[in-house]
Structure 1
């Protein structure tokens, strides 16, 4: 069975599968990573809006959670993405 066999079997748009694989490739052992939407879009050659839709697809499917991170001075930082174990 391949590394991404479970995500291939999911009934998701191809954009969501591509973003899932991108996040999986960049995540740590706990399945967490925090790339910017613009970074994901640039590296996958997708629009920012397409990446946002893909993340929404993954959230609805229960394959991803996202959490706002904050700086010490109270300002926003990047989002923390956590992939669910498959």
Structure 2
């Protein structure tokens, strides 16, 4: 199991999405139910996973803004409507 995890980590850090099909095949050959579940999840979104492992683009900046807006929304839960939330989001930048 350790070898598979390290190999997957190397694919992530070195952005080697082209190795993913071989990695999935190797995981399925071993009797590791936890990794079989991971492999099944990767298969469901295979194109997206390969794109994430190979393409240089990231949605990290957008995710950061969404996270910040959700935090502001949680802080204001039940206290104000959309107008005040909008003002807080715009002023928090």
| Common fold by TM > 0.5 | no
The structure showing larger relative contact order (alpha-carbon pairs under 8 Å, at least 6 residues apart) is 1
TM-score tier by shorter-chain length is under 0.3
Q: Structure 2-normalised TM-score?
A: 0.26
Point out the structure with the larger strand share: 1
- The structure number with the bigger radius of gyration is 2
Point out the structure with the larger helix share: 2
Q: Structure 1-normalised TM-score?
A: 0.27
